[in-house]
Structure 1
Amino acid sequence: MTSRELGALLLLGAIWGASFIFMRVAAPEFGILPLVVLRTSLATLVFLPFLFLTGGGRQMVKLWKPMCLLGAINTAVPFALFNFASLQLQSGVLAILNATAPMFAAMFAFIWLRERLGKLAIVGLMCGFVGVVVISLDKTLGSQLSIVPVLAVLGAAGCYGWGACMMKKSLAGVKPVAVAAGSQFWASLLLTPFALLQLPQAWPSSLAWMNALALALVGTGLAYLLYFFLIASAGPAKAVMVGYLVPLFGIAWGVIFLNEILSVWDFCGGLLILLGISFTTGVAQRVAHWAKQRLVVN
């Protein structure tokens, strides 16, 4: 990985980690669904020039049915669930639980796409599950907090996992920018009628607007473009490593900007989830293989 690619990876992790802060600040004033519509509409506008440059617009129109379904499952529903959960959960916890998406993807790929699930992948799923249980119990036992927001984040991560399998099955070979633009466009279109029923009674503050715009233009538009660059330049296997950086940045930004304090159990659960992801995605195996080769060479 070149220094340019590493810089893009770190920047992407920082942006996606900050997205949970943007949600926490903007969602209470905008409302759950209006914020999703604003986010997806502006992100669609960001993608438009790249659609014309790459010729992805034709694919977006031709494959409107799977794009519409993807927009609902992979964008509209998870974005709304995250906005709902951000009303009660800390941004660091949101980022940690969001990291379970690759495990859901592996599980759905096994069920739906009949992909083989190795022993280490099964161990990874179990580690991730234990990590989620640790965080869930820490947030609900002895507190007024309901488990519903935790389940909402897991539901969102599950949607991302399902969406990844759907893209592999129904949208293989489609330009990434067309997939991103199509999912954002259809999510906006599908949720607009419902968002109009939830418009905020008071005009959101300038701080809420800044965070909403940052979420749409930076956390969605720019972030996806960086992700596409990494996939094209460094390859998918290295691009997905950003999933390990997002929880770290999410926790750091929450502590720095929102004065959040995570418990020991949050960190323990987070480490179990990251360990589970490393087994499920094969990263742990690749690192072990690389270390073994280095020992042989030396």
Structure 2
Amino acid sequence: MPPPPAAATPLPPFGQGFLVSSLLGCSILWASGFLFIKLSGDLNPFAIAAMRGLLGAASLGLWFAVQGKRLLPEPGELRTWLILGALNGWVPNVLVSYALTQIATASAAMVQAAGPLIVAVMSHVLFPDERLTRPRFLGVLIGFVGMGILIGPAALPESGISPTGSLAMVAVTLSYASANLYVRTIRSADPARLALGQQVCSGLPATVLTLAIAGPAAFAAVPSHLGPILALGVAATAVPMLLFMRLIRRAGPTRASMVGYLLPVWTAILAVVFLDERIGAREIVGGSVVLAGVALVTFSGRRIAPAR
């Protein structure tokens, strides 16, 4: 689950050890979310989304309470919380939970890794100062070629690849990209409060929708999958979000965004080790092409300031 971006603030000094450990910690924990969803078995996707949001909100709320910070929304925050809760929360959480019943874990993560490509295209249309240069446009084209390699075969009946699962992950990517663009329109934001509000307004609507669509019986199987669900809400949601907020405050958004390059790698490793999944040449080639395109889009024409 992508975290909310932070407002621009002066960056305190940090070392390479902090940067490397933070990137590894965030990426591994977020990647484990795919694993824990898969281990949740046949639990209703809406119920998984509800429990993930509620547990994430409870964990962040406890962290706020320990620090003596306000839990209720400030004036004007509720609208932002609701929008992020949908675009960055319950909508993609439900779709990911469904997609992982249809396609392999590694493939799902590689499709989601194309998010920056979607953001680049939409930003080009919406923001005059975000026009695509030729190198970045080339990166977008390369990335979409990788997407075609990953999900294109799903259109063939004999491929054995679920088209609905693949399209669900494309919808997940679009949802996260829309959230990213929305946050850019917010003049100033405390990333910690955005994270808390996002989880609260993800878990509560998902719970209401679960009860309305599937009824209370949808939560009946939660106790039998309590381990993966707790790990999903706390270890794969709340903890990496707190780590990322610290990372983005100290190292800045450009370095922090490198988490996205590590996510599909760790997801693939976890899927092979714990789920006994096999990664074929198509996934390796497609994922590599997507990441190459994303790297070109992300870093073309940009300079990363040296660590202070």
TM over 0.5: yes
- 1:164-191 deviation per Cα after TM superposition (whole angstroms, max 9, x unaligned): 1101103x32110111111111122222
Distance 1:60 1:74, change over 3 A: farther
Aligned to 1:237: 254
Unaligned runs of 5+ in 1: 291-298
2: CA distance, partners of 1:283 / 1:22:
35
CA offsets per residue over residues 29-88 of structure 1, 9 Å max, x none? 321101101100111111114445384646555311122122112211111110110101
Structure 2 residue 66 is matched with structure 1 residue 30: no
Question: Aligned match of 2:273 in 229, 250, 256?
Answer: 256
Pairing partner for 2:55 from 35, 42, 48: 42
- Secondary structure, counterpart of 1:281 in structure 2: helix
Query: In the aligned structure 2, how far is the partner of 1:137 from the partner of 1:108?
Result: 22
2:111–2:169 CA contact under 8 A, matched in 1: yes
Matched, 1:221 2:238: yes
Q: Show the counterpart of 2:92.
A: 78
Write the letter of the residue equivalent to 1:166.
Y
What is the Cα deviation at residue 143 of structure 1?
2.8
| Residue 166 (structure 1) aligns with | 182
Determine which of 292, 297, 302 is the counterpart of 1:280. Answer: 297
TM-score, normalization by structure 1: 0.88
TM-score (norm 2): 0.86
Q: Which residue of 1 aligns with 2:32?
A: 18
Shift of 1:144: 3.6
1:137 Cα shift?
A: 2.8
Distance (whole Å) between structure 1 residues aligned to residue 59 and residue 219 of structure 2: 28
Relative to structure 1, the CA distance from residue 174 to residue 59 in structure 2 (aligned partners, 3 Å threshold; closer, same or farther) is: farther
Q: Which residue of 2 aligns with 1:145?
A: 161
Query: Counterpart of 2:221?
Result: 203
Closer, same or farther: CA 202–179 of 1 in aligned 2, 3 Å:
closer
Aligned-partner Cα distance in 1 for 2:104–2:184: 32
Structure 1 residue 212: Cα displacement: 1.2
Q: Does the C-alpha gap of structure 1 residues 242 and 216 become closer, same or farther in structure 2, counting only changes over 3 Å? A: same
Residue 56 of structure 1 contacts residue 175 of structure 1 at CA under 8 Å; is this kept in 2? no
* Between 100-109 and 79-88, the greater mean CA deviation after superposition: 100-109
How large is the Cα RMSD of the aligned pairs? 2.3
The residue type paired with residue 258 of structure 2 is: M
- Structure 1: distance between partners of 2:296 and 2:247: 22
More helix by share: 1
Q: 2:117 aligns with which of 82, 90, 103?
A: 103
Instruction: Say if 1:100 and 1:277, in contact at 8 Å, map to a contact too.
Output: yes
Following superposition, the deviation at residue 269 of structure 1 comes to 0.4
Give the % identical residues: 25
